[in-house]
Amino acid sequence: MSDDPEARLDPLRAALGEIDREILALVARRQAVAQRIGQVKRDIGIPTRDYLQEKDVVERARAAAVEHGLSAALGEELILALIRGSLTVQEKDTVAATGEGGGRRVLVIAAPATWAVVRALSRCPGLRGRDRRSVRRP
């Protein structure tokens, strides 16, 4: 083994890089499955968000993290990021397929020059009538 610290670090960093690529490949697989789940949800008419299912997934992730010698908090943090990614994929597909999203309202704070863009967006056909009416200049 070399006494040069960089020479000792390089192979370890390369190993971490390979593990990161493997993790990201698994995340991509997970996203693909989440996308299919979103399609099924849309087909059977159930909402994208399922808080009970999310709670179960978080609990399983916390337990699995502990089983692998990690903190439960790290397991939760990682799985919540994955859930957010899954919901984003599902919601984008829903908007693309139906022209409507989850129906959340937003508060837009805009400079006067930006307000024309906000008003134009409020007239988009994908927005429901109630949502279009709620876009008003302050």
138 residues of the chain, pLDDT tens digit each:
567 888 999 999 999 999 999 999 999 999 999 999 999 999 999 999 999 999 999 999 999 999 999 999 999 999 999 999 999 999 999 888 887 766 555 555 656 666 566 666 666 665 554 444 454 544
Residues 6+ apart with CB under 8 A from 64: 75
Mind giving me the DSSP string for the chain?
A: --S-HHHHHHHHHHHHHHHHHHHHHHHHHHHHHHHHHHHHHHHHT--S--HHHHHHHHHHHHHHHHHTTS-HHHHHHHHHHHHHHHHHHHHHHHHHHHS------------HHHHHHHHHHHT-TTS-HHHHHT----
pTM tops 0.85 = no
Domain boundaries, the chain: 5-103, 105-138
CATH architecture, range 5-103:
Up-down Bundle (1.20)
Both tokens of 66, joined, read 């502990």
